[in-house]
């Protein structure tokens, strides 16, 4: 399945994600589910998940959702995270998970990419802690363009 290939490619090419123990659990058509274990090395001074670890979890979820939305085209694209915003809601206790989604019309985004050779769009991510508490909401703006010949 193409989503499994994307998951494997991402895990093979993102050593920082592996360092944090982040796992891409599921990729779908513009969606993703990603998780990060409870590990004292990922904690802050309060003993809860560090903001930087949470951001990396969210950015990974956004990239997985973006790649899932453009699965049949992704190998020919150059994706770049252009901008991001994070709103922390509550401290994240224990293991965390993130759910990413492309909120726009994927067909319209693909049509713009085909017509313009590039497209920019947001991906929304919710982060939950082990108890299911919403810990943060994140938006990552992605910019996709066709790969240039080397």
**pLDDT tens-digit readout, 5-64:** 999 999 999 999 999 999 999 999 999 999 999 999 999 999 999 999 999 999 999 999
List pLDDT tens digits, range 86-141: 999 999 999 999 999 999 899 999 999 999 999 999 999 999 999 999 999 999 99
Detail the DSSP E strand segments found in 1-150: 23-28, 31-36, 77-88, 96-101, 118-128, 134-146
Q: Which two tokens stand for residue 118?
A: 């590039």
- What letter does residue 129 receive in the DSSP assignment? -
Burial 123-140 (b: 16+ CB within 10 A, else e): bbbbbbbeeeeebbebbb
CA distances from 114 to 104, 120, 122, 131, 143 (A): 16, 13, 18, 43, 14
Per this entry, what is the length of the chain?
150
From the candidate CATH numbers 3.40.50.2020, 1.10.357.10, 2.40.40.20, 3.10.129.10, the one assigned to the domain spanning 1-146: 3.10.129.10
The pTM assigned to this predicted structure is 0.95
Output the pLDDT for position 18.
94
The domain locations on the chain are 1-146
């Amino acid at each position: 399945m193409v989503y499994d290939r994307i998951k494997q490619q991402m895990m093979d090419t993102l050593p920082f994600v592996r360092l944090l123990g982040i796992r891409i659990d599921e990729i779908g058509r513009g969606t993703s589910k990603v998780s990060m274990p409870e590990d004292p090395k990922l904690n802050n001074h309060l003993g809860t998940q560090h903001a930087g670890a949470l951001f990396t979890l969210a950015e990974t979820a956004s990239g997985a959702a973006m790649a899932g939305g453009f699965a049949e085209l992704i190998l020919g694209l150059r994706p770049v995270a252009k901008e991001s915003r994070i709103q922390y809601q509550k401290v994240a206790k224990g293991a965390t998970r993130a759910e990413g989604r492309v909120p726009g019309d994927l067909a319209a985004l693909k049509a713009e990419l085909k017509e313009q050779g590039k497209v920019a769009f947001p991906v929304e991510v919710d982060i939950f802690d082990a108890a299911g508490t919403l810990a943060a909401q994140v938006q990552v703006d992605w910019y996709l363009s066709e790969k240039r010949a080397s």
